[in-house]
Structure 1
């Protein structure tokens, strides 16, 4: 149970971040193909040059929170493996 839950908690934050990043990259690609310049502050296509910032800089709370949740999932998986291993070891003796 803990192993499965930990696996889900470990994987979902990363998948969510990848989807959100992919959506933004798709909007940027569409904008540049139309000959515009993507404005990261307004999330709109424009014509004036603006400073480009990384995804992490703009969404640091989201990225940090998701990575922390992923670490919690990894710890839950590890604990689940330890508990499962100890239960299997007791059954053998």
Structure 2
């Protein structure tokens, strides 16, 4: 490992992943740069969700949806892989309220 790689490795800080709740809800996803489509939510955390997609969205797209127990959310697509998209919420939601729905 090079000196710079070793230094970079030493300065990494561990950030715990937010708790995730497995989900089977299907919601309508829409946004200013994408046509509306229905998608299954795979999992939800207080800071984001993993959804199914068939190429309707791109990294950087701003999307909105209405989640059971959490109401309307707005988020940004932060990753795409294997027909799934990671969406980071603009504002955190309550997992307790989502679970209760």
The TM-score normalised by the length of structure 1 is: 0.22
Larger RCO, structures 1/2 (Cα 8 Å, 6+ apart): 1
Structure whose residues are more often strand by fraction: 2
